[in-house]
A and B are shown apart, each in its own frame.
Chain A
Amino acid sequence: MSSIFDYTLASAREALRTRKISAVELVDAHIEAIERLDDGLNSFITRTPEQARLAAKEADALLAKGEGGSLCGLPIGIKDLFATEGVRTTAASKILGNFVPPYESTVTANLKRDGAISLGKLNLDEFAMGSTNLTSAFGGVENPWKRRDSDAKLVPGGSSGGSAAAVAAGLVLGATGTDTGGSIRQPAAFCGIAGIKPTYGRCSRFGTIAFASSLDQAGPMARNLQDCAILLESMAGFDPKDSTSVNRPVPHYEAALGRGVKGLKVGIPKEYRIDGLPAEIEAIWQQGINWLKEAGAEVVDISLPHTKYGLPAYYIAALAEASSNLARYDGVRFGERVKGESLDALYEATRAAGFGDEVKRRILLGTYVLSSGYYDAYYLRAQKVRTLLQRDFLKAYETVDVILAPTAPSGAFAWDEKPTDPVQVYLNDVFTVPASMAGVPALSVPAGLDSRGVPLGLQLIGRFFDEETLLAAGSVLEKAASFTHRPTIHAGVSA
């Protein structure tokens, strides 16, 4: 072990327990790395070094007595969509620029209960709406990876782009993300890390700022699946404060990692072979198929016939719910206010100044698809298509245990290569949206680098509440890929 930045969450946990390192040392090193690298990367919106140092001292006191929870003393980052009591929570929006929640989200409360130490709040697309992390009111995030032949800034993906970048650059050992249509999996793939979107209902949504309530789901992001499993076990669980939370026991996820895939049936959906899929994505997918076969899995061709309609149906459902959820930001009870002569003028001025372009576009479209005369044509029809998408998966799981697909149709692209047409940007989510619509769990693991040296991810999609099979199969992919590459910008590399 040459550097403190070689630790994974799991190995740091071991080093803390055996007192090879103290929580104060570990936390200090990461705070120093954030100060050194994050003015450039911009992965944090709010840093909380003082609170972290205080918590590290307390963690050391517990660890010295052989006490402390499963995450005691481990430095992590929190996507700035989770309400944190007494710590500014912005959703990367101007309208919440000075919002300090008087309460804590259930997911972050669980992590705190188990001793995790937050180093701050991580950047994202405004209200989690985007796939590039360029829509943040606090500036875009830079992907710590670079192409071999160029210094161009790459996007980290989104919306959990700050989480992915901070984990990849070694600024934190793990982070929380949220996934509405791919917001954990796509940035994980773009930044060469692992990420899990659990089954809808696995992690409580209480205190997570809502984008599209029937799709939003919190999950872990970390450098490998073992670390994700450790975090998920802490984050997950029934919460009476969330009516969509499902009451079932949380398994010991780490135990599933070594199960292997012998006899497992892996489905390859033919509809994911879309026109124009880059040869490199096709190749890494085939590589994944071979890896699982070599490990003893049976690979089966399957059909998810409504895949094509996943994306347009997703946008209708997500935008409708967003327009409704974001109605609360009106400048009266919290958030920024722009004065107006009348109440309506106050609302209009507040929302005009507080929301960015992408958020406004989605609110307007959401309002349109819900408006009188269009509700049946758009929203109701989309919800029916959603039923068909879910049936596709349920039918597939009659014959297969897990589904393998690429995570995204490309690797990370440069800031200035972002398409100007919104529909083209939305196409980034083509492989991740169907699982979100169906509510089934999915994960992404780094599988290799493309010809320009940028990471590519593979996605596994599983049965309801069967995150364990996902971890077992993902772990096989992870071992076979033996992805040890590091990004250009990393805490362990001195400038």
Chain B
Amino acid sequence: MSLDAKTVAKMARLARVGLSDEQVHTYQKEMQGIIGWVDQLNEVDVTDVPPMIGTGLAQPRLRDDQVTDGNCREKVLSNAPDREGPFYTVPKVVE
């Protein structure tokens, strides 16, 4: 499968990673190489093989519906890059 520059730019937009045109070009070449290499998986017959979801070792479990943590607003906010009182700040999103 070919991975063109337009696709790389689209992935960068979806992943919210800002890239220059030059970077798009570099990543396109590298990603094309990696995708070409993983294409060998098409050789494997996976008919009727279920996908592995987790290792199946941990038992799903229930716990009591009780509050055991929380009430630590200052801790939660302690690493905020920018805040106003008990709020995180972001650029205006509503016009």
Contact = CB atoms under 8 A, between A and B. Distances in A.
Contacts of B71: none
A337 B37 contact: no
The contact size tier of chain B is: 35 or more
A351 to B, nearest CB: 5
B80 A333 contact: yes
Contact of B17 (A343, A348, A377, A384): A348
Given A246-B58, A312-B40, A365-B31, A332 B81 contact: yes
A319 to B, nearest CB: 9
Contacts of A11: none
A491 B26 CA distance: 42
Given A99-B79, A341-B91, A352-B19, A383 B57 contact: no
Contacts of B31: 361, 364-365, 368
B53 A309 contact: no
Given A201-B58, A383-B52, A384-B46, A346 B30 contact: no
A382 interface: yes
Given A102-B78, A313-B41, A378-B38, A368 B3 contact: yes
Given A334-B80, A364-B15, A380-B51, A199 B46 contact: no
Contacts of B38: 312-313, 315-316, 378, 382
7 contacts: A244-B58, A312-B37, A360-B17, A363-B15, A364-B15, A364-B17, A371-B11
B87 to A, nearest CB: 11
A360 B30 CA distance: 12
Contacts of B67: none
Contacts of B33: 421-423
Contact of B30 (A243, A247, A422): A422
A243 B55 CA distance: 12
B14 A367 contact: yes
Given A342-B91, A367-B11, A334 B81 contact: yes
Nearest to A351: B17
Interface of A: 99-100, 102-103, 199-201, 214, 240, 243-247, 306, 308-309, 312-313, 315-316, 323, 327, 330-337, 339-349, 351-352, 355, 360-361, 363-365, 367-368, 371, 377-378, 380-388, 390, 421-423, 438-439, 464
Contacts of B17: 348, 351-352, 355, 360, 363-364
Contacts of B82: 337
Nearest to B43: A309
Given A330-B16, A333-B80, A200 B57 contact: yes
A393 B41 CA distance: 19
A385 to B, nearest CB: 5
Interface string B53-95: 1110111110100000000100110111110000010110100
Contacts of B44: 306, 309, 381, 384-385, 388
Interface string B1-41: 10100011001101111110000000100110111011011
A246 B59 CA distance: 7
B69 to A, nearest CB: 9
In the A-B complex, the 4 residue pairs with the smallest Cβ-Cβ separation, listed nearest first, are A383-B51, A352-B18, A334-B79, A439-B55
A247 B59 CA distance: 8
B41 A343 contact: no
Given A346-B90, A349-B18, A381-B44, 19 more contacts: A102-B72, A102-B76, A243-B58, A243-B60, A244-B55, A308-B40, A309-B43, A316-B38, A330-B16, A345-B91, A351-B18, A352-B18, A361-B30, A363-B17, A368-B31, A377-B1, A386-B51, A421-B33, A423-B37
